[in-house]
Amino acid sequence: MRQNKRMVGIFIVLAMIQLAVPLYMIWRFEDTLQTGQPYTWLTAPVDPYDALRGRYVDLRFKDEKAPVLEGEQLRSGQIAYAIIGEDEKGYAFISGVSAFRPEGNSYIKVKVYYTQGNKVAHFTLPFKRYYMQEELAPAAETAYRKNAGKDGTVTVRVKNGNGVIEELYIGDKTIYEYLRTE
């Protein structure tokens, strides 16, 4: 009898953990969207659509390299902290990369692919996919590819090093508005 109670207790604890993990992931995503600092990033042209990856718009960004902060050492494969700055037009860019978490919310966690003499770090921003209604995704991908590098931008909300895409724009229109008018 005692063993059965112990097994039931273990089962309940494991079930609660299994529920807590996805709920935490959803909460973190929604919390970032609601309370994160918004940044607008310039996008770049992409490779052709990959049908094996499903229905989304595959994003690329113009600047995926930045100077390593003075006196710091980074290595390939390392998780680092990319410090976000804004240019005179209000577009986000990475002003520097650090091995240490900076204060505030103006940073994003990135994986360093390689460094050039430990002066410049190359990385990929962690928000690369813009998910949308499945039937609109192919047309959105085509429109994005046609306009990326010219007037394609994405607004990303950033909080505690996490970034969540809020909206994809072609010019001053959201991708949905652009598809409706084109």
Work out the average pLDDT over 125-147.
Answer: 80
22-57 per-position pLDDT tens digit: 888 888 878 887 888 787 767 665 544 455 555 667
Q: In what order do the strands lie in the sheet with 79-86?
A: 65-67, 120-124, 107-116, 79-86, 91-98, 37-42, 152-159, 162-170, 173-174
Task: Report the run of H or E that residue 72 belongs to, with start and end.
Answer: none
pLDDT at position 83, please?
94
73-102 per-position pLDDT tens digit: 998 999 999 999 999 988 899 999 999 999
Distance CA 153, CA 161 (A): 20
Task: Report the run of H or E that residue 98 belongs to, with start and end.
Answer: strand 91-98
**How much of the chain exceeds pLDDT 90, in percent?**
22
Global confidence as pTM: 0.68
pLDDT at position 48, please?
42
